[in-house]
Structure 1
Amino acid sequence: MAAPVIGATSYVEESSMGTWHDMPAVWLPDDYIAPLRAAGAVVAVLPEQDPALAADALARVDALYLTGGYDVDPAVYGADAHERCDAPRAGRDAWEIALVREATAQGMPILGVCRGAQVLNVARGGTLHQHVPDVVGHDDYQMGDAIFRDLGVSVLPDTLLATLHPLEREVPMYHHQAIDRLGEGLVVAARSVHGLVEAIEDPAQAFCLALQWHPEHDELTAVWDGFVAAARSSAAR
């Protein structure tokens, strides 16, 4: 059977490489997509563009992968920005929300990681805690300097995630925002030791799962294998 094609969202930011400096560039850390390659998928990067083209983009892939990145603009869910919020990336927000809504309408497999979990929730009408230390009282979830912190999560039984991940385990964290009010149709699939929502899913879809932690920095592969298997089934249909 042919390898499934997974569409992955990406950054569009000023970057430098060699003699080229401060150029707008489409980029994505390889850590995000290496597990998909290892699981047998082809990855197509979907940089931000006109949200009206979401259906055309998804017509050419078998699954949608929402990767990490900067904060979702609080204006999207009707809130004023916290002082610690990143500068808005309105184009990326609009593009990814359009992709989520189209993929959901099609019943296409969706996997979100970190920002991807937040985008999924906001696209369904949910909201975010804009700065986790205001909720839990410490900075353990984002230590800074790209240092991932292992913290415990509890996966809820009878969820899709429970078929792919141990019910109790430490996982690599790096996020200063988190899911607050759940979006329509979404349920909690895991919580942290401090009660924060760390994974969500849509039980009405064959595969719609998003993790607030970073499985690309974890040795477990079952989530990736399950997502690629779902993409392969989607391609066969």
Structure 2
Amino acid sequence: MSNIAAHDTASHKDAIRMSAFIGSTAAPSADTATGRTRRPLIGITAGTRTLTDGAWAGYEATAVTTNYTTAIREAGGRPVILTPGEVWSADELADLDGIVITGGTDIDPARYGADALPTDFAADEARDAFEIELAQAAEENGIPVLGICRGLQIINVARGGTLIQHLADEDLAYPRSDQQLTEVPIEVDADSDVALALGTAPTVSAFHHQAIDALGRGLRVVARHASGVVHAVQSTSGAPVLAVQFHPETRADAAELFARFVGITSGSRAVAPSPKMATVQP
């Protein structure tokens, strides 16, 4: 995305901060002008895939698994697909109550000052630019964000953090989880939203070969594997951020994580956005 025009409103940020991220079950917000209600609008990032068979073989398709949209819908939100290359006006971005940054391929290591390795998966530069810019716009403008797997890594890199590029090359007693979804036990801080949703010792489903190394600004680690591999972070101030290295959208017993996120986003429309506009470049 070459351009995201984001609303800049202190009152909107204050409304977010006054709402505890430990959300209750989401309920549609009321439109006081019309008396109607609406579900929170949750933007879900997508990638692209090249179709390989049929009449449309060779054509590009917007791709995101329905697990994400189903999880948000069942949590009380209304999913809106966000695609790389879209240009959002201030008013359009302000319409979103929250953003989910989804899983996908590796981030270009140049984005966090590292060299490419043979173990890197091919980066999607357009999606990298789109999602990093989106994460930064959300941070600056008080939009709650949920990051999942690559989404956690995007948030960390967007905030100046770095990544371990290939866990199997590290001297860590960590399960190989780079070929398929793998059950991984994690330890969660009791004082965290992950613990309130999943408990302090859940088993999660992971599919990754990279993880957080240096932590980005404004984040704190709230869950790890016993090896030390980071599995969840939250924001320490400002707009709520919850990011996990695992895939809660694949497990029915992790649905509460989405319910809590959608719950807090329903409070993000308490104050109308300011007409001021800041343009964020990738």
User: So what's the TM-score if we normalise by structure 2?
Assistant: 0.78
Aligned with residue 85 of structure 2, among 49, 74, 78: 49
Q: Name the CA distance, whole Å, in 2 between partners of 1:138 and 1:54.
A: 46
Does 180-189 or 197-206 show the bigger shift?
197-206
Question: Conserved in 2, the CA contact under 8 Å of 1:7 and 1:46?
Answer: yes
Q: Which residue of 2 aligns with 1:214?
A: 247
Q: Residue 78 of structure 1 is aligned with which of 90, 100, 113? A: 113
Aligned partner of residue 37 in structure 1, secondary structure: helix
For residue 131 of structure 1, what is the aligned residue in structure 2? 166
Give me the whole-angstrom Cα distance separating, in 1, the residues matched to 2:233 and 2:221: 5
1:168–1:139 Cα change, 3 Å: closer
Q: 1:227 is aligned with what amino acid?
A: F
When residues 54 and 70 of structure 1 are mapped into structure 2, their CA distance, relative to the original with a 3 A threshold, is: farther
CA contact (8 A) 1:7 1:58 kept: no
Give the Cα–Cα distance (whole angstroms) in 1 for the partners of residues 194 and 173 of structure 2: 27
1:57 positional shift: 4.8
SS of the counterpart of 1:22? Answer: coil
Distance in structure 1 (CA, Å) of the matches to 2:60 and 2:112: 27
User: Is 11-20 or 192-201 further displaced after alignment?
Assistant: 11-20
Aligned equivalents of 1:182, 1:71: Cα separation in 2 = 17
Provide the rounded CA distance (Å) in 2 between the counterparts of 1:221 and 1:60: 24
Q: Which residue does the alignment assign to 2:220?
A: 187
- Rounded to whole Å, the distance in 2 between the matches of 1:115 and 1:69 is 6
Show the 5 A alignment for 1:27-176: 27-49=63-85, 53=88, 55=90, 57-136=92-171, 140-144=175-179, 147-176=180-209
Q: Which 10-residue stretch deviates more, 115-124 or 85-94?
A: 85-94
- Alignment of 1:21 with 2:57, yes or no, is yes
**Structure 2: how far apart are the matches of 1:183 and 1:48?**
23
Higher relative contact order (CA 8 A, sep 6+): 2
Could you tell me which amino acid in structure 1 is paired with residue 227 of structure 2? H
CA distance in 1, matches of 2:190, 2:102: 25
Q: CA deviation at 1:229?
A: 0.5
Contact 1:54 1:102 in 2 (8 A): no
| Candidates 200, 221, 229, aligned match of 2:263 | 229
* Separation (CA, whole Å) in 2 of partners of 1:117 and 1:137: 20
Give the superposition deviation at 1:161: 2.3
Deviation at 1:13, TM superposition (A): 2.5
Shift of the alpha carbon at 1:139?
Answer: 7.3
Q: 1:46 to 1:143 in 2, by over 3 A?
A: closer
| Partner residue in 1 for 2:31 | none
User: Which runs of 5 or more residues in structure 1 are unaligned?
Assistant: none
Identity %: 37
Which residue in the other structure is 2:42 paired with? 6
Displacement after TM superposition at 1:137 (Å): 5.2
**Deviation for aligned residue 1:206:** 4.9
Q: Structure 1 pair 227/154, CA: closer, same or farther in 2 (3 Å)? A: same
Q: Alignment RMSD, CA only?
A: 1.8
Q: How many residues get paired?
A: 234
Largest Rg, 1 or 2: 2
Alpha-carbon deviation of 1:97? Answer: 0.8
